Amino acid sequence: MKFVGLYKNSQVFKIALGIAIVFVGYIASVFYTQMRSLDSSVSLIANATETQLELEKVLSIISIYETNLRSFIITKDDSYLKNRFLRKGEIESNLKRIDKLVANNPARIKDVKRLKELIDYRFELFRETLLLAKSKSPNSLILNAKLQESNEFTEAMKNFVYKTINAEGDKVKIHNSNHQFELQDSIISAFLLVILSLLILLLSFNKMNVDIDELKKANDELKFLNRSFNEAEKIAGFGHWKVNLVTNTYTFSDNFYRLLEVEPQSFSPSLESISQFIHPDDKEYVSDMHLQSLKTYKPTSIMFRFILPSGEMKYVMSVGSFVENSDGEMVKTGVNYDMTDQFKRTLELEENNRELKSINEELESFNNIVSHDLQEPLHKIQMFISRIEAKENDALSDQGKVYFSKIRTSANKMQTLLIDLVNYSRTIKGDKVFEETNLNELVLQVIDDLSSDIEEKKAKITVSDLPTVKVISFQIEQLFINLISNSLKYCKENVAAQISIFSEEIEEHEIRDNEKVSNDNFYKIVIKDNGIGFKQEYADKIFILFQRLETGAQYSGTGLGLAICKRIVENHNGFIQVTSEPNVGSEFSIFIPKKA
């Protein structure tokens, strides 16, 4: 009753209302400041994110140039050097954008300046390498050294750029954290603002009808949702439309017009007005599908093309369905969204798939040639060599026997090479069926298959407990055959070969692509021998196709065996490493994931 008396006093009411309005004005100013701060946070986050993206683009362009240069060195195909090869125009555009983004950040300006110096030097390395590759008699050692220098410099540049990217990422995290705090404060301010506004309404319009008040709130919410939906259309790149089947009236959203590159509401919405934008080849199909759906009430999903006023062609997906409005009238509503980028990517994927299919067919053809067409005449050569040696050997001169022996050796080398090529192609294209495999049983079977070679070398092979792993069984069998054969081949003269095969724990220092591996994720299997070994600096070279460190007559081989091993391990998402010392022996470490 005391409150009612104060409320009826107009002077008291005016004072209370004035105080409330002042307080609301203060809260509103605080809220406005918070909104400005939020906007600033969003801008800073966007700036840092865009800086990261531009830096990633720079690295991507450097990688493309490096790939093209390596492809040219390997294939000598000038097509890799076309399209303004080694021009820095695109990178300079990225750097200009980065300069603008970091204009207010002295520390980042210094980083960008350093990045420009690194890029200049990287392009100098590109040019030096290209000149070496294009020379009439390129020195492979110098070229390889230059490529190695380029690789190391690229890695250093990547580390520098990723350090900058990570710094920008840390900045984004800080801004995000601040943004969250500011957002919470703004919510509280907004809440207080709403509460005080409601209090003023209660003081000012105490007798106002509750239904009208609820209607106003609903209307405000509807407007907010409408604005939100319009913004969502812009962000998502789609526009909505509807057609009332009773009144035959069409409605297009503002962003529907924007998809057509025209101003919102620049023409009256109708089927005829939109048809002028549809590609002539699609117009009849789209119109028939739409009109038929209006009769059957069946949802539609149509992909077609728009011809925009600029002449550009845009691929659009239009999806529509039927609902009843509040008046019980049937209305078809739908959305159109731009599929141009997705459609182009699909075309690119299809083209890539066709190319891959063609390459696979060529590989298959090559495999057939190697495994059948080439081996058939080789078998005949070896057969006639055996017959001549058996029946005509005494008729040959001593020199002829030497020549004939060389022919037989060359034919056998060729057969070994063909077999290795077939095995290598199997690791690339073969069926990759993973199955639980007991490596102890598999290795014992391999040892049994190689028993004659083992006896010839008087070798001793010890096998410790090996795990059961989910692998491609026939490939892992080939892996152990190649590694054991390699140890037997390169054993010391007059020294019995000692080969140990065992599983061991992974050490902390062991890494893969700069990432540590652990016993939780990988098995480590070791094949250790006491052979002739090699210098550790050649550890990576021995896994390259056709690379051999020992070329003496006593060491046969094609240079494919260890390349096959590397391919097999990579097929299992693992990796292989080797440590070696001349005249001491070699130790091959195979890392296979525990989960296939």
| Domain residue extents for the chain | 2-204, 238-338, 431-593
473-489 and 561-571 helices cross at what angle (nearest 10)?
150
Longest dimension (CA), the chain: 140
Name the superfamily (CATH) of residues 238-338: PAS domain (3.30.450.20)
**pLDDT value of position 559:** 56
**pLDDT value of position 554:** 44
**pLDDT value of position 371:** 55
CATH number of 431-593: 3.30.565.10
For residues 58-76, b (16+ Cβ closer than 10 Å) or e, as one string? beeebeebbebbbebbeee
**pLDDT value of position 83:** 60
**pLDDT value of position 499:** 92
140-204 and 10-75 helices cross at what angle (nearest 10)?
170
Q: Which residue has the tokens 């949702």?
A: 225
Dihedral sign, CA of 334, 335, 336, 341?
negative
Do 2-204 and 431-593 fold alike per CATH?
Answer: no
Amino acid identity for residue 284 in this structure: E
The answer to whether 193 and 31 have CB atoms below 8 angstroms apart is: yes
Bridge partners for 502 per DSSP: 526
CA distance 485 to 453: 8
As given in the structure block, the two tokens for residue 202 are: 């209660």
3-state secondary structure of 375: helix
CB atoms < 10 A from the CB of 507, how many?
Answer: 10
Residue 311 DSSP label:
S
| E strands in 308-450 | 313-324, 330-338, 435-438
**pLDDT value of position 408:** 73
As given in the structure block, the two tokens for residue 294 are: 């209006």
SS (H, E, C) 524-591: EEEEEECCCCCCHHHCCHHHCCCCCCCCCCCCCCCCCHHHHHHHHHHHCCCEEEEEEECCCEEEEEEE
Per-residue pLDDT of the chain (596 residues; tens, 9 = 90+): 444 444 445 566 567 667 767 777 777 777 677 677 767 767 777 777 887 788 888 888 878 877 887 887 788 777 777 665 566 777 778 778 877 877 777 877 887 888 888 888 888 887 888 788 777 777 778 878 877 887 888 887 788 777 877 776 776 677 667 666 666 766 776 677 677 677 666 666 664 454 566 767 777 776 777 777 667 677 767 788 889 888 888 988 888 888 888 888 888 888 888 888 889 898 888 888 888 988 898 999 888 888 888 888 888 888 889 988 888 889 998 888 888 888 888 888 888 877 777 666 666 666 655 555 566 676 677 777 777 777 777 777 778 777 777 777 776 666 666 666 666 566 655 556 788 989 999 999 889 888 888 888 889 999 988 999 988 888 888 889 889 988 888 888 888 889 999 999 888 767 666 667 788 888 999 999 998 888 888 887 787 755 555 444 444 445 577 888 888 888 888 898 899 899 889 999 999 988 76
Whole-angstrom CA distances from 40 to 29, 52, 170, 183, 203 are 17, 18, 17, 12, 37
CB atoms < 10 A from the CB of 261, how many?
Answer: 13
CATH class of 2-204: mainly alpha
